[in-house]
Structures are given as C-alpha cells and as structure tokens.
Amino acid sequence: MRIRVLISLAVATVATAAAVVVGVAVIDGPRRPPLRLPAASAFPAGTCRDAADAVLALGRFTYDNAGASRLPAASYPFLRQRAEQLVAVREGAEQALSGRIDAVLTAIGFLRLRPGKAYDPQLLRDLETTRADLQQTCVSQA
C-alpha cells in the first residue's frame, strides 16, 4: 500500500511539472526573431536617405505592435508625423520610389482611419509589407 502511494505521488509530481512547463510555453508563446533594421547610413543619398528615418521608425512601430488587437492612442499622432515626413520626401522622388512611398502613405492612411474597435490587425501587416518594400528598394540601390 505504501509503495502505491509513493508511486501515485511521484506520478502526480511529474504530471504537475509537465503541466507547468506546457503552461509556460503556451503563455510565453513562440519566440519571434529580433527586429533587424539596416542603419540609416545604408540608405543611399537622396530620396532614400531622406526617407530613412520615417521608414526605420515605421519598422520599429510595426514590430512593436504586431499582434496587438488595438493600437495605443499615441500611435495615431506618430503615424501622422511619419506620413508628413514621407509626403515631404515624395516631392522630389523619382517615379519608382514615388509609387512605393505612395503605397506606404496609403497604408498609413487606412490605419489612421480605423482606430479603436474599428482597428484591423491586417492594416498593420499591410503597412509593414509596403514599408519593407520601400526599405528593400532603397537599401538594394546602395
């Protein structure tokens, strides 16, 4: 009888430990890779360099807010400021970059139009897609 109690206690202890490990893994979730953005100096001089600060700031923003069900209220003035930076840069941009900047501005616009309960996480993913495309275009020209 005593051996059965010890075995039952040992099994219960192992089961509890396993449940804790699984629980921690579920709560902690899968690890995502760290954010890797190029330095502003990787953007060639001209339109790309002028856009670098806004593009990199938006990259940090999309990374920090990925998976959020809503954006913080401070996000909307931030997005407006980055859009204003990109509008100023677009003025002198060549055709290929101008279209990519317009795509980022459109994505920002949709995000700004859908605050609070109307927010859709796909809009943030769309912003990241267009932002990454602009970044890649600029950095590959260096």
Reading the chain (142 residues) residue by residue, the pLDDT tens digits are 566 654 655 555 555 544 444 444 445 567 889 999 999 999 999 999 999 999 999 999 999 999 999 999 999 999 999 999 999 999 989 988 999 999 999 999 999 999 989 999 999 999 999 999 999 999 998 6
Q: What secondary structure letter does DSSP report for 69? A: S
Contacts of 89 (CB under 8 A, 6+ apart): 47, 50, 51, 54, 101
Q: How far is residue 105 CA from its own chain's centroid? A: 16
CA–CA dist 25, 48 (Å, integer): 41
CA–CA dist 34, 56 (Å, integer): 15
CA–CA dist 22, 101 (Å, integer): 44
